[in-house]
A and B are shown apart, each in its own frame.
Chain A
Amino acid sequence: MTKTPHLLKNSLKFPQPELEPVDTTVAVATAATPTPSGTRSDLEPGPRGRKPARRFSRRNLFIYGTLTLVALYYLLPLYVMVVTSLKGMPEIRLGNIFAPPLEITFEPWVKAWSEACTGLNCDGLSRGFWNSVRILVPSVILSIAIASVNGYALANWRFKGAELFFTILIVGAFIPYQVMIYPIVIMLREVGLYGSLTGLVLVHSVFGMPILTLLFRNYFASVPEELFKAARVDGAGFWAIYFKIMLPMSLPIFVVAIILQVTGIWNDFLFGVIYTKPDLYPMTVQLNNIVNSTQGVKEYNVNMAATILTGLVPLSIYFLSGKLFVRGIAAGAVKG
């Protein structure tokens, strides 16, 4: 929730219609006119044509060298995790954390998923996974549905008090979570939702509201105003314009919102531990309990496997909605 991945940068605005397409007849006409070819013999000796680029220039070596180093630096922990999770405990006790496993075993993964003990129950991370899914799906849908309508109303229907409403919402984004934790506990208790998944879904939806509304408002504000006017002349009302005009061309911003919300809510720990009870804990809380509360021997391989399992959802979201994916639909919004 705190940072916008750089790969989403270009999808925050409605793509402006490109300039006039070049008239093809003109292109044909120029192609047909005889042009002097590049290999004329009456050129002066010396440089001609495209300037050759050096592949191993000092600049290139520096750039790619640095990039490789930084990439390795970030990939190393992942490597250690994967390798450790595939080793048995005796092999881990040898202490060489960088060594590849001599004997590959998937037992730590099975144990992390379905056998590891957290507190009273011993059914591994699977319980937390399903809890997280049950929190994630409704929260993402609810928060994005509300925020997109909010943003649309704020950007296109400038109702009385819209500016004030928006300001309050944005100020809300800057209030530290800690300030609001206890009041929310009381509010949820009063309506009888404290300790339930519904309560947590509501909390996630509310906390996603400022940033998501801002995101959608800015996107809808960058949609040409005349499009909105044309739809009004065509007799479309508030919801018809939202569903038939705005929604079909805002896929990029919805993808951005989904990425933000999925990673944000999946990675949440604080709200999960406060607003739910042990058998409803999300995966992150359970991961923490597995890693921190085991008695006796630290099972590093199980911990590593559990951590990777927990991180798989945000990881796969990034892979699925990478640059190409976002670009693809961003282009689709104009090109159809």
Chain B
Amino acid sequence: MEPSISIRNLSLDFGSLRVLKDLDLNVGQGEFLVLLGSSGCGKSTLLNCIAGLLEISEGQIFIGGRNVTWEEPSQRGIGMVFQSYALYPQMTVAGNLSFGLKNAGLPKAEIAARVDRAAKILQIEPLLDRKPAALSGGQRQRAAIGRALVRDADVFLFDEPLSNLDAKLRADLRVEIKQLHSKLKNTMIYVTHDQIEAMTLADRIAIMRGGSILQLDTPEEIYLRPNCRYVANFIGSPSMNFFDGRIEGGDHLRFVSGSLNLPLAGYAFADPQGARPGPATLGIRPEHIVSGAEAEAAAISLTAEVDLIEPLGSDTFARVTLDGSNLWIRLDGQARTRPGDRLVIGFAPERAHLFDLDTELRL
């Protein structure tokens, strides 16, 4: 099937600085793609390039099979939602929604019908006559989504739309956006630095760093099989624990780092080349470390001292000291562990992740 958005060899220079580096990206029809990364990674820049708000230096952009590389933003068949809502303050919500349609010269009846439909979908009908200043944050963002909706665009672009909202509202609106996507089935590209938004919303996530896409995969794959140490560290909260060490042994490989001596029989190497002795980093997520009786039965078990606990109600995260370095583990929310306690911890090798020490790529 023809991809909805296709980006080929896209590069962007700001003066002598290359901000986006030779990107290739295909987004399927009706797919929800999340661009995820820390600030300055180029994710918003890429979105602005797709929208046509930034002129690219090299490459091509196709939307709906049409080469839109030189097209104006309004000609690209996109709707866009911004972090600061960007509602026109002097216009009512209805005015905001219809502004683009008036510019496009649509007949009045058509405009009214589209505004009504969008308002109904987003449940902002009672707000249509209000000015943005008289709306709450959530209502403003809903109106901003409405402005994208009325354009009847095939592609929606979201630029960190929930970052200005408080945590509760963010969770509510996240659900609404997900419902909206399943109802409308548009292609959506969503930029965020929030991994929870990325994991919950995305069909696929593109993790970006320094103007390149590090990994493009389903949320599950990214969580279970991060292809490099950066991605492994970025996804998950608290982040993955890492041990620098070596892979040793001949037929029976083991990972050795301090008191940690882990048989790698159960580990599925991504690259058969990696299954040989050499320096490596082992990563293990806090939620994959078990403790107590479970740990004693695990392939590897160690004793560590609890240093700090963070009770969250549902879970309790504990920081333990092992060989002088700290690692986070997840305990049950009801666990009665206190700082200073000694704890037996362990994990299964198939839950671990091995990365090359130099290239940081998955082994």
The total of chain B residues at the interface (CB under 8 A) is: 33
A71 interface contact, C-beta 8 A: no
Q: Are A233 and B100 in contact (CB under 8 A)?
A: yes
A226 interface contact, C-beta 8 A: yes
The size class of the interface chain A forms with chain B is 20 to 34
Other-chain residue from A20, A236, A334 in contact with B103 (beta carbon distance below 8 A): A236
- Which residues from chain A contact B52 at a C-beta distance below 8 Å? 232
- Which residues from chain B contact A334 at a C-beta distance below 8 Å? 89, 133
B218 interface contact, C-beta 8 A: no
Q: Are B99 and A234 in contact (CB under 8 A)?
A: yes
The listed residue with most A CB atoms (<10 A of its CB), out of B53, B82, B89, B90, is B89
B231 interface contact, C-beta 8 A: no
The secondary-structure label for the interface of chain A is helix
Other-chain residue from B89, B99, B132 in contact with A244 (beta carbon distance below 8 A): B99
Q: Are A336 and B133 in contact (CB under 8 A)?
A: yes
Q: Are B133 and A335 in contact (CB under 8 A)?
A: yes
Segment 86-138 of B: residues with Cβ below 8 Å from A: 86-90, 99-100, 103-104, 131-137
- Which residues from chain B contact A17 at a C-beta distance below 8 Å? 84, 89, 133
B282 interface contact, C-beta 8 A: no
Q: Are B100 and A235 in contact (CB under 8 A)?
A: yes
Q: How far is the CA of A336 from the CA of B131 in the complex (A)?
A: 7
Q: How far is the CA of A244 from the CA of B98 in the complex (A)?
A: 13
Q: How far is the CA of A134 from the CA of B135 in the complex (A)?
A: 46
User: A21-B136, A235-B74, A336-B133 in contact; A226/B99 too (CB < 8 A)?
Assistant: no
Q: How far is the CA of A23 from the CA of B165 in the complex (A)?
A: 13
- Which residues from chain B contact A224 at a C-beta distance below 8 Å? 84, 86
Question: Scoring A residues 105 to 145 as 1 if CB is less than 8 Å from chain B, else 0, what string do you get?
Answer: 00000000000000000000000000000000000000000
A258 interface contact, C-beta 8 A: no
B147 interface contact, C-beta 8 A: yes
Segment 300-336 of A: residues with Cβ below 8 Å from B: 333-336
Q: How far is the CA of A17 from the CA of B166 in the complex (A)?
A: 16
Segment 199-231 of A: residues with Cβ below 8 Å from B: 224, 226-227, 229-231
Q: Are A233 and B74 in contact (CB under 8 A)?
A: yes
The listed residue with most B CB atoms (<10 A of its CB), out of A229, A230, A249, is A230
B42 interface contact, C-beta 8 A: no
A61 interface contact, C-beta 8 A: no
Q: Are A232 and B90 in contact (CB under 8 A)?
A: no
Other-chain residue from B78, B89, B133 in contact with A233 (beta carbon distance below 8 A): B78
User: A226-B82, A226-B84 in contact; A333/B89 too (CB < 8 A)?
Assistant: yes
**Cβ distance B268 to chain A, nearest Cβ, rounded Å:** 45
**Cβ distance B296 to chain A, nearest Cβ, rounded Å:** 49
A245 interface contact, C-beta 8 A: yes
Q: How far is the CA of A23 from the CA of B135 in the complex (A)?
A: 10
A77 interface contact, C-beta 8 A: no
B80 interface contact, C-beta 8 A: yes
Residue of A nearest to B135 (CB): A21
- Which residues from chain B contact A240 at a C-beta distance below 8 Å? 103
Residue of B nearest to A24 (CB): B136
Q: Are B166 and A20 in contact (CB under 8 A)?
A: yes
B321 interface contact, C-beta 8 A: no
A5 interface contact, C-beta 8 A: no
**Cβ distance A239 to chain B, nearest Cβ, rounded Å:** 11
Residue of B nearest to A14 (CB): B89
A172 interface contact, C-beta 8 A: no
Q: Are B89 and A231 in contact (CB under 8 A)?
A: no
- Which residues from chain B contact A20 at a C-beta distance below 8 Å? 136-137, 166
A100 interface contact, C-beta 8 A: no
Q: Are B86 and A229 in contact (CB under 8 A)?
A: yes
Q: How far is the CA of A17 from the CA of B84 in the complex (A)?
A: 9
Question: Scoring A residues 15 to 50 as 1 if CB is less than 8 Å from chain B, else 0, what string do you get?
Answer: 001101101000000000000000000000000000
B83 interface contact, C-beta 8 A: yes
Q: Are B90 and A227 in contact (CB under 8 A)?
A: no
A248 interface contact, C-beta 8 A: yes
User: A236-B99, A245-B88 in contact; A229/B136 too (CB < 8 A)?
Assistant: no
Q: Are A232 and B73 in contact (CB under 8 A)?
A: yes
Other-chain residue from A23, A230, A232 in contact with B136 (beta carbon distance below 8 A): A23
Q: Are B88 and A231 in contact (CB under 8 A)?
A: yes
Other-chain residue from A18, A226, A232, A235 in contact with B104 (beta carbon distance below 8 A): A235
- Which residues from chain A contact B147 at a C-beta distance below 8 Å? 230, 234
**Cβ distance B335 to chain A, nearest Cβ, rounded Å:** 34
Other-chain residue from B72, B82, B90 in contact with A230 (beta carbon distance below 8 A): B82
**Cβ distance B85 to chain A, nearest Cβ, rounded Å:** 8
The listed residue with most A CB atoms (<10 A of its CB), out of B79, B84, B87, B132, is B84
- Which residues from chain A contact B88 at a C-beta distance below 8 Å? 227, 230-231, 245
B51 interface contact, C-beta 8 A: yes
Residue of A nearest to B100 (CB): A234
Question: Scoring B residues 50 to 66 as 1 if CB is less than 8 Å from chain A, else 0, what string do you get?
Answer: 01110000000000000
Residue of A nearest to B48 (CB): A229
Q: How far is the CA of A132 from the CA of B136 in the complex (A)?
A: 50
Q: List 28 A-B contacts (CB under 8 A).
A: A17-B84, A17-B133, A18-B133, A20-B136, A21-B135, A21-B136, A226-B85, A226-B86, A230-B86, A230-B87, A230-B88, A230-B147, A231-B99, A232-B53, A232-B73, A233-B51, A233-B53, A233-B73, A233-B78, A233-B80, A233-B100, A234-B99, A235-B72, A235-B100, A248-B90, A334-B89, A334-B133, A335-B133
Q: Which 4 A-B pairs have the closest CB atoms?
A: A235-B74, A234-B100, A336-B131, A226-B86
Please report B residues at the A interface, Cβ cutoff 8 Å: 48, 51-53, 72-74, 78-80, 82-90, 99-100, 103-104, 131-137, 147, 159, 166
